[in-house]
């Protein structure tokens, strides 16, 4: 397959690019506009491969995306480019509406124009894979059953509302125009090359630097944690086997409270990088909660596991150990980002 992938310099997109080049025979063309969240270094190990290419392009530029589609002639599009940080969506929602809603509309229109001109066999085999989040389902109470593909939409943050809108557009383009599109909705990811504004990398880095470890409220919000390379594998399975009109809810069955996550990171660091001043957990500080903070997300991945022949390889503890070791070994990468960020984002905001 020739895969055109959007957002391939991001946290998850770069994991998919690496997985496609290292573990499959597919070709991939990465299009990314290089926002603050882009890390070209994350694909440096595969960038010289003849099956990989890159074009700088804003997904909102329908004509430019159309020209790239006509030149590259992909068999599938994997759409990951988005604004992804909930705190930023609360501070400044406009760019989320532009990229996540209008950007997806732009991609659907460019892809529809390209797809409808394909020869019949290629048109039938073509796939548009929209990568989305479980946050579109809203929040669960402590005893609610986990989300499934049948859970109604009930988004509560500007970020999740913009992603929900984009999911609705994808379904409408499938239903109205027959575009062979499907959606994956996934839980919280963590792992290598994760931008240092999100909970896991922020906690690791702050702890390594002896800074305080901010935890929203009591820290009892629950997320289901999926290691990013496991997600990349699931997404590639989905683009290979996904059914037009389908939805796949992808999760790892690893629910943890935020406080459990932060304490687990402290415990790994106490082992790998003991601090003479005392256990890293002494740095934990509870900060005022995020407005509208959803209490719990958790996915029942049974349908996706069966349909895609996939299950997560890492439990939270093994994935976290790999992640912490990676951040210890890649300090120059995150130090450069932190230096750029100091001016723009107050430290201590967490995902
Ligand atoms: P990210 O913020 O790390 O990366 C996004 C990438 O998209 C960046 O490289 C950025 O430069 C690019 N981009 C942004 N706007 C663009 C535009 N207008 N045109 C072209 N490129 C643009 O995001 P991520 O965490 O890798 O998330 C990828 C996708 O997965 C998103 O759609 C997100 O909603 C979804 N998702 C993320 C998680 C998670 O835990 N991170 C969980 C479920 C779903």
Q: Is the pLDDT of residue 114 over 70?
A: yes
Q: Which atom of ligand 1 is nearest to the CA of 39?
A: 9
pLDDT of residue 187: 97
- Ligand 1: residue whose CA is nearest its atom 12: 7
Average pLDDT over residues 173-181: 98
pLDDT of residue 347: 42
Q: Is the pLDDT of residue 164 over 60?
A: yes
Q: How far does the centroid of ligand 1 lie from the alpha carbon of residue 84, in Å?
A: 5
pLDDT of residue 121: 98
Q: How far does the centroid of ligand 1 lie from the alpha carbon of residue 157, in Å?
A: 16
pLDDT digits (tens, 9 = 90+) for 28-64: 999 999 999 999 999 999 999 999 999 999 999 999 9
pLDDT of residue 346: 45
pLDDT digits (tens, 9 = 90+) for 135-158: 999 999 999 999 999 999 999 999
Which residues sit with their C-beta closer than 6 Å to ligand 1?
A: 6-7, 9-13, 32-35, 37-38, 58-60, 80-82, 84, 99, 103, 131-133, 163, 186, 188-189, 195
Active site residue 305: no
Out of 11, 199, 223, mutate this one to test ligand 1's pocket (max ligand atoms within 8 Å of CB): namely: 11
Average pLDDT over residues 65-90: 97
Average pLDDT over residues 88-108: 97
Q: What is the mean pLDDT of the chain?
A: 96
pLDDT digits (tens, 9 = 90+) for 258-295: 999 999 999 999 999 999 999 999 999 999 988 888 89
pLDDT of residue 251: 98
pLDDT digits (tens, 9 = 90+) for 181-228: 999 999 999 999 999 999 999 999 999 999 999 999 999 999 999 999
pLDDT of residue 326: 98
pTM (predicted TM-score):
0.96
> Mapped to the 3 state alphabet, what secondary structure does the chain carry?
CEEEEECCCCHHHHHHHHHHHHHCCCEEEEEECCCCCCCHHHHCCCCCCCCEEEEECCCCCHHHHHHHHHHHCCCEEEECCCCCCHHHHHHCCHHHHHHHHHHHHHHHHHHHHHHCCCCHHHHHHCEEEEEEEHHHHCCCCCCCCCECCCCCCCCCCHHHHHHHHHHHHHHHHHHHHCCCEEEEEECCEECCCCCCCCHHHHHHHHHHCCCCEEEECCCCCEEECEEHHHHHHHHHHHHHHCCCCCEEEECCCCEEEHHHHHHHHHHHHHHHCCCCCCCHHHHEEEECCCCCCCCECCECCHHHHHHHCCCCCCCHHHHHHHHHHHHHHCHHHHHHHHHHHCCCCCCCCCC
Q: Is the pLDDT of residue 246 over 60?
A: yes
pLDDT of residue 342: 75
């Amino acid at each position: 397959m020739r895969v055109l992938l959007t957002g391939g310099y991001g946290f998850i997109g770069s994991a998919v690019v690496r997985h496609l080049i290292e573990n499959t025979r597919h070709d991939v063309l990465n299009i990314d506009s290089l926002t603050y969240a882009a890390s070209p270094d994350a694909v440096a190990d595969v960038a010289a491969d003849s099956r990989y290419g890159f074009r700088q392009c804003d997904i909102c530029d329908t004509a430019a995306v159309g020209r790239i589609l006509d030149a590259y002639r992909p068999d599938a599009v994997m759409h990951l480019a988005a604004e992804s940080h909930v705190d930023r969506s609360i501070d400044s929602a406009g760019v989320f509406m532009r990229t996540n809603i209008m950007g997806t509309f732009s991609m659907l229109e460019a892809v529809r124009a390209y797809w409808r001109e394909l020869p019949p066999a290629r048109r039938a085999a073509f796939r548009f894979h929209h990568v989305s989040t479980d946050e579109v389902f809203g929040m669960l109470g402590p005893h609610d059953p986990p989300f499934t593909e049948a859970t109604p939409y009930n988004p509560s943050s500007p970020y999740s509302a913009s992603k929900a809108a984009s999911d609705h557009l994808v379904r409408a383009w499938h239903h109205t125009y027959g575009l062979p599109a499907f959606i994956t909705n996934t839980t919280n990811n963590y792992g290598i090359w994760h931008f240092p504004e999100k909970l896991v990398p922020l906690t690791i880095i702050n702890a390594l630097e002896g800074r305080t470890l901010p935890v929203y409220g009591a820290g009892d919000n629950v997320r289901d944690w999926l290691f990013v390379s496991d997600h990349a594998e699931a997404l590639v399975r989905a683009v290979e086997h996904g059914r037009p009109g389908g939805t796949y809810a992808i999760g790892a069955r690893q629910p943890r409270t935020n406080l459990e996550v932060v304490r687990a990171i402290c415990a790994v660091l106490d082992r790998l990088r003991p601090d003479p001043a005392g256990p890293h957990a002494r740095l934990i500080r509870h900060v005022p909660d995020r407005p509208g903070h959803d209490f719990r997300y958790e996915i029942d991945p049974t349908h996706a596991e069966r349909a895609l022949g996939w299950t997560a390889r890492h439990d939270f503890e093994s994935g976290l150990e790999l992640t912490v070791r990676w951040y210890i070994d890649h300090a120059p990468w995150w130090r450069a980002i932190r230096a750029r960020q100091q001016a723009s984002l107050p430290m201590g905001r967490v995902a």
